[in-house]
């Protein structure tokens, strides 16, 4: 028979305890093969048992349960046990045993299962204690669980270790209770630590006030509004149609006729389209400067093939 001497698993996971055996006459054996698994003691009553004939073709439906089932076929010498969702209480020694029909002798070997777990704070509350000259009437009590069994330290509101680390007591193989003197209004944190990690909880727990909730809702609403506005702007800019940027002048009819003539000429394939620059002046109380001055100040240097004209707009 062969087993894994030690197996380690984290709490909540599935684990297989490997076990196998061989027999010189196994291929010719037609009797029953009985698999038994025991826990804690070699002479304890089996918590799991399964039996089937070696020469049968039946399925292993009777060898499956809610948490425990065989992870193999005894007819091939496989006796491994599957444990689902391992808990801390599953930690300990296990014994794999195989029995053959009409034989008083059996084979049995031990394997050890180690279940590890990060610390968890089970409770943190104020308890009353008998009043004595050397102790406070109220104490803050913290109970933590984990494997290895966690260590508890107490922190002040400023995250420093407090001077009085209190009293400790074990409440089980994986649990520890610690308590410290508590004064009303003080903020204290219970921190549980082990090789797997840590956990902490602070007392008192301040509920979320309606004012804080209102601020959170307002901020969230503003963020949503800003996102929606940005989306609308992007959508409008993406879908906006091109706008005719042609200016409107007082002599629009003249410009239109000029464009029509230019278009007709281009269609005939003869003349080229010429650009026309217009100087626009507004009439006011003061007399406008002469046309040649306005053209000089408002129009670029005249180029060959470019026409310039002055346009007055009445106020």
10-residue mean pLDDT profile of the chain (315 residues): values are: 95 97 83 92 94 82 84 92 96 95 82 97 89 68 96 95 91 93 92 96 74 65 79 67 48 46 48 51 51 46 58 55
Is the pTM value of this prediction over 0.75?
A: no
Helix (H) or strand (E) holding 2: strand 2-3
83: Cβ–Cβ under 8 A, 6 or more apart, which residues? 14, 15, 16, 17, 67, 68, 90, 113
pLDDT of the residue at 225: 79
Question: Residue 102: its pLDDT value, please?
Answer: 63
Residue 255 is predicted with a pLDDT of: 41
Query: Beta strand pairing status for 92-100 and 106-128?
Result: antiparallel
253 strand-pairing partners: none
Q: What is the pLDDT of residue 161?
A: 93
- Using an 8 Å Cβ cutoff, are 110 and 101 in contact? no
Q: What is the pLDDT of residue 240?
A: 58
Q: What is the pLDDT of residue 64?
A: 82
Q: What is the pLDDT of residue 59?
A: 77
Token representation of residue 99 = 């029995």
Can you tell me the distance from the alpha carbon of 299 to that of 156, in angstroms, rounded to the nearest whole number? Answer: 79
- The H-or-E segment that residue 49 falls in is strand 48-53
Query: CB-based burial of residue 294 (10 Å sphere; 0-12 exposed, 13-18 middle, 19+ buried)?
Result: middle
Bond preceding residue 273 cis, omega within 30 of 0 = no
Q: For residue 295, how many C-alpha atoms fall within 13 Å in the half-sphere facing its CB? A: 13
């Amino acid at each position: 028979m062969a087993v894994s001497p030690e197996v380690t698993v984290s709490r909540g996971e599935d684990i297989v305890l490997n076990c196998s055996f061989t027999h010189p006459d196994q291929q010719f054996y037609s009797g029953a093969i009985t698999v038994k698994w025991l826990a804690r003691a070699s002479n304890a009553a089996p918590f799991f048992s399964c039996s089937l004939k070696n020469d049968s073709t039946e399925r292993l439906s009777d060898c499956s349960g809610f948490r425990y089932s065989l992870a193999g076929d005894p007819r091939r010498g496989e006796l491994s046990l599957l444990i689902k969702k391992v808990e801390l209480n599953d930690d300990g020694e296990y014994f794999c045993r195989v029995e053959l029909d009409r034989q008083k002798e059996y084979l049995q070997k031990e394997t050890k299962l180690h279940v590890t777990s990060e610390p968890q704070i089970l409770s943190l509350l104020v308890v009353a204690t008998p009043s004595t000259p050397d102790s406070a009437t109220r104490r803050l009590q913290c109970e933590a669980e984990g494997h290895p069994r966690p260590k508890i330290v107490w922190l002040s509101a400023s995250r420093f270790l407090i001077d009085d680390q209190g009293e400790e007591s074990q409440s089980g193989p994986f649990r520890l209770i610690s308590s410290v003197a508590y004064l009303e209004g003080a903020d204290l944190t219970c921190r549980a630590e082990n090789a797997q990690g840590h956990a902490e909880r602070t007392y008192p727990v301040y509920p979320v006030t309606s004012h804080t909730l209102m601020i959170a809702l307002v901020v969230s609403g503003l963020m949503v509004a800003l996102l929606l506005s940005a989306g609308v702007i992007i959508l409008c800019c993406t879908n906006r149609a091109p706008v005719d940027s042609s200016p409107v002048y007082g002599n629009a009819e003249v410009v239109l006729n000029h464009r029509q003539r230019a278009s007709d000429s281009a269609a005939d394939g003869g003349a080229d389209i010429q650009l026309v620059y217009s100087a626009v002046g507004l009439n006011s109380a003061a007399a406008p400067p002469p046309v040649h001055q306005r053209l000089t100040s408002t129009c670029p240097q005249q180029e060959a093939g470019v026409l310039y004209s002055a346009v007055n707009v009445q106020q």
